[in-house]
Structure 1
């Protein structure tokens, strides 16, 4: 197998032992039709030289990668699902396939979705619809372009089976996805250990998490190490929630099994991007109370962190954990300013004044119902884009008196080098790249009705253009 010298296998998770996962066999599929190969990330992992057959062997038949995990592992975890505790979950249609280091030295997982039944499938077929795989790619690519800390869609195969689902026309086409993620250790992984009252395993997992993701705290011991790790998770999760708010993204299902210890967004089911600002906007049709609505996402993450803190009392005094959880609110504020000022290319000043300005901006977006993506496109680089904004399809909204506080905020925070930043051809086009649900459905309709992958590939090219235009606007949270 022609891996490059930069291929660095590091299968740390399996060293935790049998208490944390179950060995499983991957499903055997009648077909292996490659629909997505993430070559850019493959090269960063030393896998860019794989032949088509080798790619199929490792990411459709799931043969082990060299010097990596000996067999797939279905990870064990519990979780609160819409705030009801469920001890009967775990990897039900996926597994951990391999772990390796990228070109920056970060530990990354290959996790699957749709790879067959496991002990946690609970009467499910362990499969993924092709539409689900396509949607996962679109979500991950768009979020990566917007510098949200996200998993990457590494590989997608159509597998030739017909699946029956209650929430889309059936039978429908099937797929298997490989997700590249910094970690698949969930809040619910710790919750399971608390459920079974296993402080020994909690200490073992804390040591593993620190060694793999937060090595700066390995010099600490006992409660101090547990508290420091928790504080890192709190801050990373606060930054993640802030970036969702800045990107106009609604994850849809913020259960404690869908939040991980590195503060990385993953597992894209009923996600949506906002067309216009609406705090009550939900992504999941089954979220009848709006628990995970757009405006409630920081609250949902904070609540989930409190459940993680409760589980960690196996290894640490509650008072120490409560002190770390108190970091969430200030980290959220800093994260929101950092993300939005990065996206708009503004200059930071006094935190309180900057947050007040952002509050005015969010209020105006909600009240005016301006197009979300259009607004961020029109006002990239703040007041330096005033002339561009006058040519916008929603220029009349910017001319109204209600916009005056936002305009003043831009004028006070515009950088001196804005003209150079606006030189990218992307900012010469009148409309932005976006990913609202109507566009997603059009992409899928072309595939479902005509097997036409042209709109899908075109959308990925558009996202790549957006990513290039925004490159350098953020200290990219997606990179560490």
Structure 2
């Protein structure tokens, strides 16, 4: 088993970027979920339950980690209105470590860990339902091939919380998230707002050193970083579309510079292809709807580019920013083909297939995830698709352009259709009614069996699609 390799690199940024804080004193810590795959990978798999609860429930420092957690400072646009009063209001950076497998920097970030200087009158807590929903989101997204944070630990904390969008009082929890960065577009926005150009330059250097070391020799480090971030965020946007996922709250403080999806509030998966489908009940104009997510990411990246002007120039940053649409147009067919388990062909053919696919899925209202499940391997799955609950959709004349386009495509080598998961009639999905059905027995009688069986199903799905840690 590898040894845990802690580091404290975020301290190198200095107090412009964080405030040391203390975690809440919870009346109870009861383990509800832990990611043993990642624990073993990082050298923490040997922890007893008591040790786990000490570090990820009571949030005692890990060996070699920060002596106090760091509440990160940032600003951001929330529904396109600038807010200079943000920051980690109910979470903090608990620890960092080096992944012994790939040498990358990893963050342990919390959610629901108590008040900080940035809580703005909030209680700094997370509902248990919110924690369960985040576990389900990250597990499902990972299985679908989306680059996402991991829900490393979920601990129930024994408090009664009052929330306007849940029956109250409701149970509390603390989540520990594992991700490759908590540096957000909003981290740059804060320093730009304060005209702290030295801190901006320091942040650029930190990001290159820790996340994009290949850019170390770039003539214009700010422009090079922007172009790299644009590519990663474009890939993420394409992955969300391919997965049928709606994040729900794409504020600039929710977009990190490694292009890793994180911080799940009112998320949803689309039941059918609908660009106007929204996740948040308060998103009354559909600003963050399913189909507007790529535009929103481009808008957010423009805000990042604006922050970097003092370190570069508009003439250099604009071409880097303008790579967003070429990157997205290349990534969308790549991600759709990945989901279908098909080898890419030419750009024209790949784009034609994607156009035919959306041209069918939209008007037909065929179930979104069922389609990708049924047609894994393209024409190789024609027999499977013929016995699908969606078979009538595929028998229609409207499906003919998709079927004709797929005929030319060969399956990838790891298409894995002999996996037991693909013998099912229907895929594992995570629509809102299913999420509520998983939560109901927990709320009513503390029955976690459906939650655990769902995670087992998702693990089978992850294995079928060849997703490894």
Instruction: Report the TM range for the smaller structure's normalisation.
Output: over 0.9
- Which runs of 4 or more aligned residues in structure 1 lie more than 3 Å from their structure 2 counterparts after TM superposition? none
For 2:172 and 2:4, locate their aligned partners in 1 and report how far apart those are by CA, in whole Å: 30
For 2:412 and 2:322, locate their aligned partners in 1 and report how far apart those are by CA, in whole Å: 37
2:437 equivalent in structure 1: 442
2:450 equivalent in structure 1: 455
2:172 equivalent in structure 1: 174
- The 5 Å alignment of 1:234-249 reads 234-249=230-245
For 2:395 and 2:44, locate their aligned partners in 1 and report how far apart those are by CA, in whole Å: 52
For 2:348 and 2:90, locate their aligned partners in 1 and report how far apart those are by CA, in whole Å: 45
Mapped contact 1:197–1:314 kept (Cα < 8 A):
no
Cα deviation, residue 417, structure 1: 5.6
Secondary structure at the aligned position of 2:254 is classed as: coil
Cα deviation, residue 5, structure 1: 4.2
Asked if residue 202 in structure 1 is aligned to residue 200 in structure 2, the reply is yes
Asked if residue 307 in structure 1 is aligned to residue 303 in structure 2, the reply is yes
For 1:398 and 1:435, locate their aligned partners in 2 and report how far apart those are by CA, in whole Å: 23
Q: Choose which of 158, 161, 169 in structure 2 pairs with 1:160.
A: 158
* Deviations, residues 243-269 of structure 1 (Å, cap 9, x unaligned): 000000000000000000100000000
Cα deviation, residue 410, structure 1: 0.9
- The 5 Å alignment of 1:107-118 reads 107-118=105-116
Q: Choose which of 425, 430, 436 in structure 1 pairs with 2:425.
A: 430
2:464 equivalent in structure 1: 469
For 1:177 and 1:422, locate their aligned partners in 2 and report how far apart those are by CA, in whole Å: 35
- Unpaired runs of 5+ residues, structure 2, are none
Q: Choose which of 34, 37, 40 in structure 2 pairs with 1:40.
A: 37
Mapped contact 2:153–2:177 kept (Cα < 8 A):
yes
Asked if residue 352 in structure 1 is aligned to residue 355 in structure 2, the reply is no
Asked if residue 95 in structure 1 is aligned to residue 97 in structure 2, the reply is no
2:54 equivalent in structure 1: 57
For 1:320 and 1:43, locate their aligned partners in 2 and report how far apart those are by CA, in whole Å: 44
* Deviations, residues 231-287 of structure 1 (Å, cap 9, x unaligned): 110000000000000000000000000000100000000000111110000000000
For 1:424 and 1:321, locate their aligned partners in 2 and report how far apart those are by CA, in whole Å: 47
Q: What's the TM-score once normalised by structure 1's chain length?
A: 0.96
Cα deviation, residue 28, structure 1: 0.4
* Deviations, residues 180-221 of structure 1 (Å, cap 9, x unaligned): 011000000000111000111100000000001001111235
Mapped contact 1:186–1:256 kept (Cα < 8 A):
yes
Q: What's the TM-score once normalised by structure 2's chain length?
A: 0.98
- Unpaired runs of 5+ residues, structure 1, are none
Q: RMSD of the alignment, in Å?
A: 1.2
1:212 equivalent in structure 2: 210
For 2:452 and 2:194, locate their aligned partners in 1 and report how far apart those are by CA, in whole Å: 47
2:26 equivalent in structure 1: 29
Q: Choose which of 118, 121, 136 in structure 1 pairs with 2:119.
A: 121
Secondary structure at the aligned position of 1:449 is classed as: helix
Mapped contact 1:136–1:269 kept (Cα < 8 A):
yes
For 2:393 and 2:410, locate their aligned partners in 1 and report how far apart those are by CA, in whole Å: 20
* Deviations, residues 355-380 of structure 1 (Å, cap 9, x unaligned): 12201101211110001111111100
Secondary structure at the aligned position of 1:254 is classed as: coil
Moved more, 108-117 or 345-354: 345-354
Q: Choose which of 398, 406, 411 in structure 1 pairs with 2:407.
A: 411
* Deviations, residues 443-470 of structure 1 (Å, cap 9, x unaligned): 0011001111000001000000100110
* Deviations, residues 390-435 of structure 1 (Å, cap 9, x unaligned): 10111111111111100011111133868x7311111111111110
Asked if residue 421 in structure 1 is aligned to residue 416 in structure 2, the reply is yes
For 1:448 and 1:421, locate their aligned partners in 2 and report how far apart those are by CA, in whole Å: 38
Q: What is the number of residues matched between the two proteins? A: 468
- The 5 Å alignment of 1:62-101 reads 62-101=59-98
Secondary structure at the aligned position of 1:370 is classed as: coil
* Deviations, residues 278-336 of structure 1 (Å, cap 9, x unaligned): 00000000000000000000000000000010011121101211111111111112211
Secondary structure at the aligned position of 1:265 is classed as: coil
For 2:420 and 2:406, locate their aligned partners in 1 and report how far apart those are by CA, in whole Å: 22
Q: Choose which of 397, 401, 405 in structure 2 pairs with 1:401.
A: 397
Secondary structure at the aligned position of 1:34 is classed as: strand
For 1:146 and 1:264, locate their aligned partners in 2 and report how far apart those are by CA, in whole Å: 14
Distance 1:384 1:77, change over 3 A: same
Q: Choose which of 340, 363, 373 in structure 2 pairs with 1:367.
A: 363
For 2:411 and 2:54, locate their aligned partners in 1 and report how far apart those are by CA, in whole Å: 50
For 2:411 and 2:385, locate their aligned partners in 1 and report how far apart those are by CA, in whole Å: 17
1:147 equivalent in structure 2: 145
Mapped contact 2:341–2:412 kept (Cα < 8 A):
no
Secondary structure at the aligned position of 1:161 is classed as: strand
